[in-house]
Amino acid sequence: MIAARLAWGNLGLHRRKSLLIGMIMGMGILILFIGNSFIDTALSGLQRMFVQGYTGDLMVTGPTEFPTTVLGETAGSEEVLPHIAQIKKYEDFLARRNDVAATLPLLSGQAAFGIGETELGSGYCFGVNADDYRKFFPDNVTLVSGEWPKAGDGPWVLLSEPTLAILNKSATSPVQPGTHIIMTALANSAGTVIREVTVKGVIKFNQSNKQLEGLTLVDADTMRDLLGFASLRDGAPVLTGQEASFVSNFDPNALFENLFASNATGAAPAAAAPASTAQPGVKAEVIPAWQFLLVRVKPGASSSRLLSDLSAFSKQIADGDRVQDWIAGAGKVARTAVTIRLAFDLLVAVVAVVVVMIMMNVLIISVNERLYEIGTLRAIGAKRCVVRNMILYETAFLAAIAGAAGLVIGLVVLLLLGKFGIRAPNLFFEALFGGQVLKPMVSAGAAIRAFLWILVMGLGASWYPTIVALRIEPVIAMRGD
């Protein structure tokens, strides 16, 4: 306690130095608190938007060499993202876990829209089962007009408002629910694929940015066709008896058997297949193609733990499948936000070194001014620990006072900014803010991080002055001040 008492008294006695160090610490906390709160707000807004509207907490994709976002981008490749061959196993694995709230299989790709020969526009499309999609993202999509697709409906599309506006700019007659439009895509293996779909409705994404607000929802089978997964449509194809017989009796060798054989009579080649026997319809075992499996964890559950478990499971069952978190799924924007945080932390670290040097200098001067005082303490029986604690208490008191001041000022600034908001100056910031206006929230995490930073800086700054103080010998007290 005596060390604390001495430390407190010294702060008062050396007011100017205390004020200087306190101001540095207070400013540091203020900047850290506000900066981290901004980043936390942006990141949590982005996370909320992507997790609740586009990516879920986790995302499984088929084997790719490059990072994949929910829009199917793969850096360095423009090929269609492969489907997840073992999706059933993933679904079974996830169904057994009690930390999983829901899963959603999804397809993603680009397509052009047109009517007849006229191309009206293009955009990103998600191929989904409408009901599953609405259950998985219950709050993100609002039907503006038309109706939700029902089971058994033919090929359908739900156009977003911005996409509808683009199409209607070029269309001779208004595109609206009930309009048949042509969707065209360049699939990997199938070349150009063209499908006619019916506009079932017009939708609006409640949380979005410029890139995401134009998304179109398409029925999964149409999307599979457009992506070149036509053979992996949903539901087993039902073959007629004749088709089934052909498939079961098909012998490829028989096709070439007579081609090179001597046949003087020139008799017509025998049919490859034996006489067909009418059979009832046969169901082939086909697992529908999905490129993504989105996963939502239950509230309070750890998505990073599930990510780890799912990644381990993926390595067991499939070679090259990717299991990613929402940041990877969200792509550039989220990565930018995370990078900004890292850059901010790096900047803080660099500034911290400079600040620590300044503080250290001031503290060393302060220790040197107290040579006789410290020497006297040592002479009258203070052990080194008392001197060390005295210096550490001084730093701790300054950190606490300056920290509290910095946090209070930061809190006021954040509350004011939160009330009025900051308007995004351009699309980049709009994406980063997760909307047009950023209303920074008061982040307890940011406050704690800022305080810990300052405490670490304070302790770092007092490290060498403490050593200097501990070197002061009691004999110095005898020399007089």
Chain residues in the site for other proteins (CB under 8 A):
1-2, 5-6, 8-10, 12-13, 372-373, 376-386, 473-475, 477-478, 480-481
**CA 294 vs CA 80, 101, 109, 303, 322: distances in Å:** 18, 11, 16, 12, 12
Q: Which is nearer to other proteins, 153 or 481 (CB)?
A: 481
Q: Which is nearer to other proteins, 2 or 404 (CB)?
A: 2
b/e sequence 418-436, b meaning 16+ C-beta within 10 Å: beeeeebeeeeebbbbbbe
Q: Which is nearer to other proteins, 343 or 478 (CB)?
A: 478
Min dist CB 323 to other proteins, Å, is 54
Which are the contacts of 90, defined by CB distance < 8 A and separation ≥ 6? Answer: 60, 84, 103, 293, 310, 313, 314, 317
Min dist CB 396 to other proteins, Å, is 17
Min dist CB 13 to other proteins, Å, is 5
Min dist CB 392 to other proteins, Å, is 14
Q: Which is nearer to other proteins, 129 or 395 (CB)?
A: 395
Q: Please, where are the H alpha helices in 288-370?
A: 303-317, 326-330, 332-369
Min dist CB 363 to other proteins, Å, is 16
Min dist CB 474 to other proteins, Å, is 4
Q: Give the number of other Cβ atoms within 10 Å of residue 301's Cβ.
A: 15
Min dist CB 470 to other proteins, Å, is 10
- What SS3 state is found at 190? coil
State the burial class of residue 184 (Cβ atoms within 10 Å of its Cβ: 0-12, 13-18, 19+). Answer: middle
Min dist CB 416 to other proteins, Å, is 39
- What SS3 state is found at 300? coil
Q: Which is nearer to other proteins, 21 or 106 (CB)?
A: 21
Biggest alpha carbon distance in the chain? 132
Tell me, rounded to whole angstroms, the distance of Cα 214 from its chain centroid: 19
Find the helix or strand (DSSP H, E) in which 240 lies. Answer: none
Task: Give the integer Cα–Cα distance in Å for 42 and 435.
Answer: 9
Q: Which is nearer to other proteins, 266 or 480 (CB)?
A: 480
Min dist CB 369 to other proteins, Å, is 11
Min dist CB 5 to other proteins, Å, is 7
Q: Which is nearer to other proteins, 6 or 71 (CB)?
A: 6
Find the helix or strand (DSSP H, E) in which 279 lies. Answer: none
Q: Which is nearer to other proteins, 1 or 264 (CB)?
A: 1
Beta-strand ranges (E) seen in 71-162 are 100-115, 118-128, 141-146, 156-160
- What SS3 state is found at 266? coil
Residue type, 277: T
Token pair recorded at residue 98: 């009690």
Helix 15-53 to helix 2-13 angle, to the nearest 10 degrees?
100
Q: Which is nearer to other proteins, 88 or 383 (CB)?
A: 383
Residue closest to 136 by CA, chosen among 94, 169, 190, 174? 94
Task: Give the integer Cα–Cα distance in Å for 178 and 198.
Answer: 6
Q: Please, where are the H alpha helices in 54-196?
A: 87-96, 130-136, 161-170
Min dist CB 477 to other proteins, Å, is 6
Spatial contact of 445 and 362, defined as CB atoms under 8 Å apart:
no
Q: Which is nearer to other proteins, 157 or 387 (CB)?
A: 387
Q: Which is nearer to other proteins, 440 or 465 (CB)?
A: 465
Min dist CB 401 to other proteins, Å, is 17
Q: Which is nearer to other proteins, 283 or 384 (CB)?
A: 384
Task: Give the integer Cα–Cα distance in Å for 366 and 146.
Answer: 76
